[in-house]
Amino acid sequence: MANFILRRLGISVLLLAIVSVLVFVVLRVLPGDPTITLLGGAQGTDKTAVTQVRAQLGLDRPLPVQYWHWVAGLLHGDLGISYFSQTSVNSLVAARVGPTLELALVAIVAAVVIAVPLAVLAAWRPGGVMDRAVAAFTTMTMAVPTFLMAIILVVVFAVRLRVLPSRGYVSFAADPIGNIRLIILPGLTLALAAAAPILRYLRASLADVAESGYLRTAEGKGVAWRRAVVTHALPNALLPTLTVVGMTVGHLLGGVVIIEYIFGWPGLGALIVNSVLKRDYAVLQTGVLFAAGAFILCALLVDVLYGVIDPRLRVRRKVANP
């Protein structure tokens, strides 16, 4: 098990290094120059001023030197300084991680609460009304773009019914009720988007487990079908579903850019959007790398949990590597 974890950790570090190179190079290749934005626009900008600003920001150095300087800072815990606010990227990211974690936690918990009961209800009577209704719900939520779902929820609950606020953020410590009201719409939007793949995968896993011999044996011993689905099929079907849940958590932790921007949620997603508009390389490359790192970390944790939850996987590894 230890060798497996070390191998996966090495692969994760390698992937993160590749992502850092890609992020750094792509940002420099894309159109736009932060020095032009700092000087107020592209028309009539003095070339001497541009040269001076580029030298101050270190953008006149060769790309390998810039990359090494950035990576060396990362390894020492120094993420750099924002070009525009002259604030350390460490403090900017630290201020945005909390709201993103809060929103991601609410969304993934709500997604699991929605997906698991609906999958079990659909598995109780395969091909029945509930099964078809769940399939229609899954198809609809997966087909509708997340930003459109957010707009629909805002129109219904904030504009028409006027029961929930449409935008804003307040910390739970400052105003618990206000925080809960403000997080409902963005949390529900992300929960519906995340629940659809979890529900679909879990329903398929339950269908596969339902055909297994031990479930038929339990039914033959007098165990009710619904009880057999919950007590026998569901625990076994949850294991392969763990992959989808892990990837969903990684996606949410990375910061859902559009949703945070729509609802005015001050998380990493909103920070990345503002950095893109300004071409703030120092903030943008760190934010994207954080999102990629969260996704890779969740994939690593899922692989480790597989070995912890299912002892058969550890046995297979021992046999394959005697």
pLDDT of residue 259: 87
* Stated pTM of the model: 0.78
73-95 exposure pattern, b = at least 16 Cβ within 10 A, e = fewer = beeeeebbbbbbeeeebeebbee
Query: pLDDT averaged over consecutive 10-residue blocks of the chain (322 residues)?
Result: 75 87 84 74 65 80 87 85 84 87 90 88 80 88 87 92 91 91 93 88 77 64 64 69 75 73 85 82 85 81 71 50 48
pLDDT of residue 319: 42
- Smallest CA-to-CA distance from 199 within 155, 251, 247, 141 is with 141
Q: Residue written as tokens 């071409």?
A: 279
Largest alpha-carbon pair distance within the chain? Answer: 86
Extents of the domains making up the chain: 2-75, 93-320
Quick one: tokens of 175? Answer: 């105003």
pLDDT of residue 320: 45
DSSP state of 199: H
Number of Cα atoms under 13 Å in the Cβ half of residue 59: 20
Amino acid identity of residue 154, one-letter, is V
Contact by Cβ (8 Å): 115, 195: yes
- Smallest CA-to-CA distance from 99 within 151, 168, 149 is with 168
C-alpha span between 70 and 58 (Å, rounded): 11
Q: ∠ at Cα 247 (243, 253), nearest 5°?
A: 145
280 to each of 28, 55, 274, how far by Cα in Å?
11, 15, 8
Quick one: tokens of 258? Answer: 């559009």
pLDDT of residue 229: 65
Q: Can you tell me whether residue 88 is helix, strand or coil?
A: strand
Question: Candidates 3.40.30.10, 1.10.268.10, 3.40.50.2020, 1.10.3720.10; correct CATH number of 93-320?
Answer: 1.10.3720.10
Q: ∠ at Cα 156 (144, 112), nearest 5°?
A: 55
44 to each of 40, 47, 56, how far by Cα in Å?
10, 9, 20
